[in-house]
Amino acid sequence: MMKNNKSVIYWLLSGCILLFIMVVVGGITRLTNSGLSMTDWHLVTDTFPPLTEAKWIQTFEEYKKFPEYQKINIHNDFTLSDYKFIYFWEWFHRFIGRIIGLVFIIPFVYFLFKKQLSSATIKKCVVLLFMGAFQGFLGWFMVRSGLIDNPDVSHFRLSLHLTFAFITFAYTLWVALDLIYPNKIQVIVPLRNLARVALVFLLIQIIYGGFVAGLNAGLIHNHWPLMSDGQFIHDSVFIEQKTLFLNLVEGKSGVQFVHRTMAYFVVGLIIALYIRSKKYMLTTLQKRGINTLLIFVFLQFILGVFTLLYSVPLWLGLVHQIMAFFLLSAMTFTLHRLSK
């Protein structure tokens, strides 16, 4: 680690930690059905929740004008106390987003003023700045889809918001790793290329994880290794939507089938990476990265199975999402050590 880059590295890694917390809270927000509790967005005035009972009542009355209350919660004896609970998680999710913005922008300006950033790092940080701003837009774009007619957000927008958060985290970590390990190493092209393929499949799996969450597709076919009725591909995969393609991106059964099947490909690619790596002389960090990746992918696979078998209890769904974050972290680190 270059001594004069320590503060920049710690800054970037603190951003990674905050992004991790953001995704965890986002998972809780989704699993507690809290995402539509705040029906508007204001950069400054929403910074803190309502501070008086009168303001709480006013905010609750505004919430009652929207589909989630009118079509669902009105029938559930939904009280102000219930509303405060779901409001907290959505507010906390947005609050962390504001903190991330401040943690990024203020030190970035400081490091620019102190000339502690190289031109290459400045360019990468500007990309991160735009990624963060775009992620904020995606959050509101997602919420907006559930405030019009259907009291649920678009699973496409949910997955886009989730996946882009993962990608933003991975890129932030990559920029930090560039500074932590500035010296070039011998690139093992076959392993690097295989790791790249594995990363692509992992990202597709994360996308479909968002689809499953958005469609509540984990609440059906709660069997493994086969789907319901002892079928590998259940009949419902083909009949929910008009075409096979739509079934695989919009049908609950189809989306779950892709997600549960894609898991085998991700595991298989990482096992292949591990086996193939034995043919090469690797550095200690490369070995640790691949070994950690192998352990994490098996843990994630097991968590996925139990999350399905137990019909997505909140804590297990959250742990499954957290493990996906750790898996992507290991993948990013391993690919970096195989590429630079």
List the alpha helices (DSSP H) in 36-118: 53-63, 67-71, 80-113
Amino acid 4: pLDDT: 60
Tens-place pLDDT, residues 112-138: 998 899 999 999 999 999 999 999 888
Check if the beta carbon of residue 224 is closer than 8 Å to that of residue 305.
yes
**What is the rounded CA–CA span in Å between residue 317 and residue 323?**
10
Q: What are the angstrom distances between the C-alpha of 153 and each of 9, 67, 140?
A: 36, 11, 11
State the average pLDDT over residues 309-336: 96
Amino acid 200: pLDDT: 98
DSSP track, 120-183: HHHHHHHHHHHHHHHHHHHHHHHHHTTSSSSSS--HHHHHHHHHHHHHHHHHHHHHHHHHH--S
Amino acid 89: pLDDT: 93
Residues near 199 by beta carbon (within 8 Å), at least 6 away in sequence:
331, 332, 335
pTM of the entire structure? 0.92
Query: Residue 52 class from Cβ within 10 Å (0-12 exposed, 13-18 middle, 19+ buried)?
Result: exposed
206: which 2 tokens? 């994360």
Average pLDDT, rounded, for the chain: 92
Q: What are the angstrom distances between the C-alpha of 290 and each of 13, 277, 334?
A: 21, 8, 6
